[in-house]
Amino acid sequence: MSEDRSSNGSTQRNWFERISQVLLGEPKDREQLVELLRDAQARNLLDADALAMIESILQVSEMQVRDIMIPRAQMVVVRRDASLEEILPTIIDSGHSRFPVIGENRDEVVGILLAKDLLRYRIQPEEAFSIRDSMRPVVFIPESKRLNVLLKEFRLSRNHIAVVVDEYGGVAGMVTIEDVLEQIVGEIADEHDIEEGVFILQRSETSYMVKALTPIEDFNEYFGTDFSDEEFDTVGGLVAHEFGHLPKRGESVVMGRFVFKVTRADNRRIHLLALDIREEADTPVMTGPGGA
């Protein structure tokens, strides 16, 4: 019994000696650090969720805004000259809380509109609506900004959204604090996400949201299709195979009469797909972020 206790104590002491070496500067590369952390998880010194979060934090420090941003074509925007009646349907349909305000086109982002700032016009209808009076200042950031730096800036400024510009000053997309946090803790569900236990959500007669983990058998039964499930079990696996690579958010592919667009994904897998059904079948076509 004393030998077992001595052996366990020796094992833990050896592991703590190794982690101490890391903290003191040895080993000096990230791969050895990750290996040590995985070893700790195998010894039940870390649980799987903690290990996954730590690895995600390490990855975030190497990622740039361009890796997770919402492409400009996918941004939900409101126009500077729009009336309150024109803006409200956009806000209601999207379910978002913050919107870039544009001028002549999407390269001219003049401010940020918060949905909550419109409440006063519903409470006091006699007050004349002015989008210019309601806009917040817009923060512009480069595509190359690292996510760990951006997260720190979001926290210090208490800002939750930024517009991303390319090297020529044109608008490339937008990014929110939720986008960054999801790279660390995984997908953050809100009231506009598909409920747990539901895999397919109909949005209109030809538009759906589909979880990537939807079994192909269930998809076939729902839509009356005959996609093969011999090689892949889920819709996400089927779509990723059609791309030939792990797609990023905004990329789309046409499979028969179905247009799959990636709306949520990380560097490991697809999470959520937007599905549009066309009347006539097309040959498979892939587009990059913001493609048709």
Give the position of tokens 């007050």.
127
Nearest-CA neighbor of 198 among 272, 279, 138? 272
Which of 25-29, 254-258, 262-266 reaches the highest mean pLDDT?
A: 254-258
- Long-range CB pairs of 238-245, under 8 A, 24+ apart, other chains included: 239/212, 239/270, 239/273, 240/269, 240/270, 242/284, 242/286, 243/286
In the CATH scheme, what architecture does the domain 200-287 have? Answer: 2-Layer Sandwich (3.30)
Task: Name the pTM for this structure.
Answer: 0.55
Nearest-CA neighbor of 188 among 196, 179, 197? 179
With a cut of 60, say whether residue 27 has pLDDT above it: no
Quote the Cα angle for 34-37-42, to 5°: 125
Q: Indicate the pairing of strand 98-102 with strand 78-79.
A: parallel
> What does the pLDDT read at residue 255?
93
Q: Where in the chain is the domain with CATH 3.30.465.10?
A: 200-287
Q: Where in the chain is the domain with CATH 3.10.580.10?
A: 66-185
In the CATH scheme, what architecture does the domain 66-185 have? Answer: Roll (3.10)
- Burial (CB count within 10 angstroms: exposed 0-12, middle 13-18, buried 19+), residue 145: middle
Q: Which residue has the higher pLDDT, 18 or 183?
A: 183
> What does the pLDDT read at residue 94?
74
**Residue 287 token pair:** 């587009």
- Rounded to whole angstroms, the Cα distance separating 135 from 182 reads 27
